[in-house]
Structure 1
Amino acid sequence: MTRCVVVTGAGSGIGAALTALLRARGDRVIGVDLRGAEIEADLATPGGRAAAAEAAARAAGGVVDAVVTCAGTSVPGEAMVTVNYFGSTGFVTALRPALAASSASRVVLIGSISGTQPADPAIVAACLADDEETALVHARAAMADGRERQLYPSSKSALAQWARRTAVAQGWADAGIPLNVVAPGVVLTPMSAGLFDDPAMKRAMDTAVPMPLGGYMEPEAVARAVAFLASAENTHITGQVLYTDGGAEATLRGPSVF
């Protein structure tokens, strides 16, 4: 059965790989990106998210079978809050009515192994309180204090916590909408390409994200995991963070965390 899937960040990286995979399977994909997608939108702003969600619902005829939020940035800055977190949660929430209209709706958010690393609790708390303005105040303070590397883990930690909380909240599980997170390790995408040009950064990544199974991964490896969670076959998996990371999370946190 052909499914209608909305994919943010569809123009590159994991989003592009997922779009190609789903279309090869016969699904209809409505891509959302800054440029070059069916819907061109800026998810960094509330207005941009609302407009993108409205356009996606309209293009889907009011019925969306799955939403996958791949849009994000690894460049330290305010977009780590506005796009990585609110660009996912706000967009998905706006599309909930169109998801509820489907008989087999699914949501998958792209998180990160970085979500397990030290985060700024003030940023995380503001995100989970849906207070974008305060989250940005704390993000700017972190950058001013030289703690910009905490922004990415903060956004991804908050995203995973939001997903686990929301998955079992009213209007989601009781409406038949599984909501999960796929958290990759190091993925070979245009977003991460610059990191490999810096030998010191590459050594740091090898230490921070050890991947004993297969090493660094191509985006297609993540796309395959996402495709299952977004499929009609996934009937009972919800509120989970699937670490698609070559064993990094198990290595770093050990066997007692599960």
Structure 2
Amino acid sequence: MTSHETALPAIASAQRMDQCVDQRVDQRVGALDWRRIEQDLDQYGCATVPQLITPHECDALAALYPRDDLYRSRIVMARHGFGRGEYKYFAYPLPRIIGELRGAIYPRLVPVANRWNRAMGIDVRYPQQHADFIRRCHDAGQLRPTPLILQYGEGDYNCLHQDLYGEHVFPLQVAILLSEPGRDFTGGEFVMTEQRPRMQSRAEVVPLAKGDAVVFTVNSRPVQGTRGPYRVNLRHGVSRLRSGHRHTVGIIFHDAA
């Protein structure tokens, strides 16, 4: 974890968010069924994590969205052809729960990331600690934090895409749903597509409840074929909201150029 991420936020809203962390993040991450998560990642390219954060923490994070002083930039998707809706990238220092989740989840995913790269013939290997990987990003000029919060309203959607941001890319990331399906919004499902060589693409719709997370592939992963592993490319997005409002937090482990 970087010194940026462990520093206490300077403004009152972020301080209130720090006070809303209901349980030690490293403890809850350590208690997850990582064997099952790894198996699902290998089989499907994604894995759900029920109730990674509490409803209280979800509400506190969503309440930060109007506070522009917490963010380095705001993106209106329609202006760039990304879909409809908007999102904001957090500035350093990150809210405590986001920084701690980023630092605690990353080491659990490093074995999967390194094993996948070996299978795909990619020479890159990832260090065990997130601070060391962030140092690698920063040394290459990828200095801007990438954790973000997304906001959707009725009719909004997110086109299929990949979150790459530079030369150094960690191949897995996390999204956490902050809103309650069926109460706060309808529609708005998390969607992935997998493009397989000489085959039609496969779609995966991932149902989530408030506080649930999905760990998923950023760009490519290996699939075992009859002649050995081959590479498939994945994209992710969000289907159209039928009604209401939806907030999501995204935790990306590499920083941006």
The answer to whether the superposition gives a TM-score over 0.5 is no
The structure showing larger relative contact order (alpha-carbon pairs under 8 Å, at least 6 residues apart) is 2
Structure having the larger proportion of residues in strand: 2
TM-score, normalization: structure 1?
0.29
Greater fraction helix = 1
TM-score for the superposition, normalised by structure 2: 0.29
